[in-house]
Structure 1
Amino acid sequence: MKMTTAAIGGLLLALTLNPLAGRAATVDFEDLAPGTIVSEVFSSAPESIGPIGVFGVNPQAAGLNAAVIFDSAAPNGDPCGGGLDLDLGTPNEAFGGPGVGDAGASNTEALGNLLIVNEACGLGGASVDRPNDADNPDSPISFDFSAIGPVTINSLSLIDVEAAEAPATVELFDAGGGLLADFVLPQTGDNGVIRNSPLGPTPDVTFMVVTLGGSGAIDELDFDLEPPVCSLGDFVFLDENEDGIQDPLDLAIADVKLNLT
């Protein structure tokens, strides 16, 4: 935090500002271990901005947080018996990676960790041993920016939103719960990737819901911190007893000049 001060006779007036305001930030999930059930995230280096609350809903596991980290470099066994989850592998096998799928031409580089809505049978503990994305028609992941927001949402990167399933949607809300904007994102195809799908940019966002229409995962979320709205009061007084309260005997000071630097 940056402290800006102005001297007024024997007084010192201070205003605290956030030096990160206006900065672009990316959440890429790389600081979390695969299998982690994610309740909050921070932006990646150089600034760790957060916390941003996270909750994933699997309709087959009511009440449990199903937001889980998946390592796309090492697709593992499905605890529900479905085999390896190769359609979330990156890059596609045509580019030397573990990914398999007929839309893999767009999956050209290693993406590292992804955020998925996990299958119900792997949930219930502190982490998931072998993460695998759920194949449900309605699997929302919410992001709560109230601890740092509001923010401007810029874009979202997705993988494996298959053509046979409903497209992913994004809803952006303000602090009062009002809908600011909603988007339907392009389907990526099996093992396909879409990078930086634009979401406006949309300012004043406090709450975001990404709903996957079936399988699929989030790779990155890009946003900007918004400058705070600051105001100064119109009454300056000499706080004789230094209690921070305007007492009846505290004298007003007229014609004060304030310089912010």
Structure 2
Amino acid sequence: MSDYTLDWASVAGIDGETTTLSNGSSDVAVVIDTPSNGTGAVTEVTEFNGVQALTSEHADQPNVASLSFSAPITDVTFNLLDIDRSNADGWGDTVTIIARDADGNELPVTFSNVTDAQSVDGNSITGVAELFEAPPVGVTISGAVKTLQIIHVKSETNLPASGIIGISEIGFNLVVNEDPDGYVDGTNDDDLIDHRFEDIDGDEIDDADALLPRAQPNDDVVLAGAGNDTVYAADGSDDVFGGEGNDLLRGGAGKDYVSGGAGDDALYGDDGADSLVGGVGDDTLDGGLGRDVLSGGLGNDSLIGGGGFDILTGGFGADDLQGNDGDDTLIGGAGGDTLRGGDGNDTLVGGRTDISQVIDFNGLEIGEILTTQLAHQGFTVSSGNPKTPVMVFDSAQPTGGDTDLASDTLGKVLILSEDRDKNDPDDNAAGGSFIFDFDGPSTVHSLTLFDVESGATVSLFDDQGVLLSVQTISTDDGEAITLDIDQSGAAQMVVTLHGSGAIDNLSLTVDNAEGDLGDKLMGGAGDDVLTGGAGADTIDGGDDRDVIVGGTAGDVVTGGTGSSTANDADDIDILDLRGLGPFRVVQHSLDADENSTSGRVEFLDTDGTVTHSLAYAEIEQI
């Protein structure tokens, strides 16, 4: 008897939605994803052979249903419906079932009630004869299942397509009393995860266990899960993932990575050189002491650098960025942002100019787990599963036994790490998702996919989560193919591998947001560099020697006084208009301090007609 039943009639959805099941005492969350294979195949929940089922039809290319469970499950049972073949109509079915544990190890699959109309080969079953409404074939999976893939495809390449098959409700039990696995797992409730919290496997914060590869005694990986969670990671270099809900996450001492996920989250790096990513929602990020990197993501976020030389990127939305002490870099991204540099020699950029680039990842270190290392290039990249993070892999000297990922030309590529071992990178055989979050509307031109024999799906979304485009691709063993995408307006790209493989050579343009609402930039004390970008911006250099770069229609620029002494060399503010085409200065006058000037700059087209203008004050040099 199963404690849990996944009833298709009651699921939240089959396109990446989360369905939570309960046995009255413990919850299990199931994420179900059925990406399009791009060939017109149909996957849907419908009544089939008298029961509600997940059905797959016209699978010319592999049609994949992927299920990911929040905790390991066992005693998995379900039925496959109508696995057969029709020679007359030219179709046939093959279903392959891949079940893996939390470490990516494949688990055995057992079929029962197999008829003469089917043949079994390992974890695959194929229809070999037509049998009207073939009786259900039973499927049983033992072991601790963490992910499950059910793959339907036509049984022979010369057939035009598959028939239609169904997957019945799925029963299972929860694995309990496992040994600690190094991951501190929360529940789907509102958890308080601190040094007193113990998860279902016996994992704790700062337990001095160092169970994960190359971890130091108090380096924790915390997966808070759904719910409004509070996490205190304390000592060590920790990775903290909030998941869904409005979470409060503190990294504590050490070099931490803190990711809010969905919801309005509060993230604190505390001591150390931390990386904070807000995700979706109106988040508050506070780096604390140390050289921190903060990325707001989608939503109206508040980013505070604290002490140290910090990098703050607002992303989409009307964000508030405060550098505070140190020589900080603040980048507003898309939306009407407010940037305050504070003390130190800061660089403030309201909105990026277009950045066209091909990122080959060769500047990263082998075995490096990606968090915010590429934020300065306009995006972050993460994994859909924190247990299989994005890692840098050297294709010139492949490790982990991955000889199929050997290449003389690609250099360093990105994989989804099987075990987080930085000294022996190995890709996850079960696949997973790379998630690229851009800090402005972006045009993705192309991406190289490497050794994706099981196939890959590339999906792009706008800042409202609307699907813009989707493509599927597969390669031969060891083959690299560049996929032409050419999709503009993207806020996020999700690359899902249905098995092992790697990606490389991302070609994109992080666009200058058209119609940016205009930013407010305040340099504060120190020798600052301020760039407004798109929109009608208000820019104030504050004290000391500032450089204000560029200008667009409606900008109001103030260099700041910083001195009441005429010709004071410590307060020479420069308005830098190089590269903006012809312009003229009008209404130019000396300010009351007799040290700076005010006026207006008019920008001209090739005929000498004024196209737009900006106003300036307290500027010493143009």
Q: Partner letter of residue 132 of structure 1?
A: D
User: What does 1:31-180 correspond to in 2, within 5 Å?
Assistant: 31-42=363-374, 49-50=377-378, 52-58=379-385, 63-64=386-387, 66-76=389-399, 78=400, 84-91=401-408, 110-119=409-418, 122-123=419-420, 128-136=422-430, 138-146=431-439, 149-162=440-453, 165=454, 167-180=455-468
What's the secondary structure of 1:133's corresponding residue?
Answer: coil
Q: Partner letter of residue 85 of structure 1?
A: D
Q: How far apart are 1:129 and its partner, in Å?
A: 1.4
Task: Report the Cα distance in structure 2 between the residues aligned to 1:144 and 1:53, rounded to whole angstroms.
Answer: 5
| Deviation digits for residues 175-194 of structure 1 (CA, Å, limit 9, x no counterpart) | 11111111112x22111111
Task: Report the Cα distance in structure 1 between the residues aligned to 2:427 and 2:402, rounded to whole angstroms.
Answer: 8
Name the structure 2 match of 1:198: 484
1:17–1:141 distance in 2 versus 1, CA, 3 Å: closer
Q: How far apart are 1:228 and its partner, in Å?
A: 2.4
Name the structure 2 match of 1:26: 358
Verify the 8 A CA contact 2:536 2:555 in the aligned structure 1.
no
Q: Partner letter of residue 140 of structure 1?
A: S
Task: Report the Cα distance in structure 1 between the residues aligned to 2:384 and 2:444, rounded to whole angstroms.
Answer: 22
Task: Report the Cα distance in structure 2 between the residues aligned to 1:39 and 1:159, rounded to whole angstroms.
Answer: 22
Q: How far apart are 1:258 and its partner, in Å?
A: 6.7
Verify the 8 A CA contact 1:53 1:144 in the aligned structure 2.
yes
Task: Report the Cα distance in structure 2 between the residues aligned to 1:226 and 1:31, rounded to whole angstroms.
Answer: 23
What's the secondary structure of 1:87's corresponding residue?
Answer: helix
Task: Report the Cα distance in structure 2 between the residues aligned to 1:222 and 1:236, rounded to whole angstroms.
Answer: 32
1:236–1:133 distance in 2 versus 1, CA, 3 Å: closer
Verify the 8 A CA contact 1:57 1:67 in the aligned structure 2.
no
Verify the 8 A CA contact 1:169 1:212 in the aligned structure 2.
yes
What's the secondary structure of 2:435's corresponding residue?
Answer: strand
| Deviation digits for residues 47-102 of structure 1 (CA, Å, limit 9, x no counterpart) | x623x2111235xxxx43510100001112x2xxxxx21100113xxxxxxxxxxx
What's the secondary structure of 1:180's corresponding residue?
Answer: strand
Q: Partner letter of residue 366 of structure 2?
A: P
What's the secondary structure of 1:229's corresponding residue?
Answer: coil
1:232–1:85 distance in 2 versus 1, CA, 3 Å: closer
Bigger Rg over Cα: 2
1:41–1:158 distance in 2 versus 1, CA, 3 Å: farther
Runs of 4+ in 1 over 2 A off after TM superposition: 16-20, 40-43, 230-237, 256-261
1:211–1:260 distance in 2 versus 1, CA, 3 Å: same
Is 1:259 equivalent to 2:612 in the alignment? yes
Tell me the TM-score normalised to structure 2 length: 0.27
Q: Partner letter of residue 612 of structure 2?
A: N
Structure 2: any 5+ residue segments left out of the alignment? 1-330, 332-348, 516-534, 538-552, 562-601, 603-609, 615-622
1:145–1:236 distance in 2 versus 1, CA, 3 Å: closer
Task: Report the Cα distance in structure 1 between the residues aligned to 2:427 and 2:554, rounded to whole angstroms.
Answer: 58
Task: Report the Cα distance in structure 1 between the residues aligned to 2:477 and 2:514, rounded to whole angstroms.
Answer: 44
Task: Report the Cα distance in structure 2 between the residues aligned to 1:145 and 1:17, rounded to whole angstroms.
Answer: 16
Structure ranking higher in strand proportion: 2
| Deviation digits for residues 151-181 of structure 1 (CA, Å, limit 9, x no counterpart) | 001111011111xx2x100110111111111
Verify the 8 A CA contact 2:384 2:432 in the aligned structure 1.
yes
Task: Report the Cα distance in structure 1 between the residues aligned to 2:499 and 2:388, rounded to whole angstroms.
Answer: 17
Q: How far apart are 1:41 and its partner, in Å?
A: 4.2
Give the total of aligned pairs.
183
Task: Report the Cα distance in structure 2 between the residues aligned to 1:191 and 1:89, rounded to whole angstroms.
Answer: 7
Please, which of 493, 497, 504 is the counterpart of residue 212 of structure 1?
497
Q: How far apart are 1:143 and its partner, in Å?
A: 0.5
